[in-house]
Amino acid sequence: MVYVGVIRQELLVKGDKGEKRLSVLFDSGASRSLVKSDVAMELSTPRKLLIPREFVVADGGKIVCDLLCELIVEIEGKDIGIEAFLVDKLPVPLIFGALDMEAYGIKLDIAKRRLDLSEFSGYMLAL
């Protein structure tokens, strides 16, 4: 799998069933947030989508998702709510996608290999 811009951090992720520190990949090449199915089932109660969503991944392959879950990712002491699609095979437990990064003003500082939180307020922007 090829990543456009990625930063990995260990962060606390919470759901309605529990919480756990996970390796979270902030990936500017992934439009949506994705979570490993087994992790999602452990932390949250997934809901079935009205229609399945089909995604094209970096290698050109396609994956179909029919479940979504709500998760909270703690960043700098702030709880960030995201909706993540359940996927069986991922390189990390959670991929934080570009649309969620944009909504919260989170940028990637690739040169320093860290998140740029200079515009991060902890609140979702109405896009």
Domain layout of the chain by residue ranges: 6-116
**pLDDT beyond 60 at 3:** no
Q: What is the C-alpha to C-alpha distance for residues 112 and 9, in angstroms, rounded to an integer?
A: 13
Contact status, residue 106 vs residue 26, Cβ threshold 8 Å: yes
pLDDT, tens digit, 9 for 90 and up, residues 68-123: 999 999 998 889 999 999 998 888 999 999 999 999 999 999 888 889 988 887 77
Bridge partners of 85? 34, 68
Distance in Å from the first CA to the final CA of the chain = 29
Q: What is the C-alpha to C-alpha distance for residues 27 and 49, in angstroms, rounded to an integer?
A: 23
Tokens of 2: 């090829």
Q: Which CATH code, of 3.40.50.720, 3.50.50.60, 2.60.120.10, 2.40.70.10, is assigned to 6-116?
A: 2.40.70.10
At 56 the pLDDT is 84
pLDDT, tens digit, 9 for 90 and up, residues 19-38: 999 999 999 889 999 999 99
pLDDT, tens digit, 9 for 90 and up, residues 41-62: 999 999 999 999 998 877 788 8
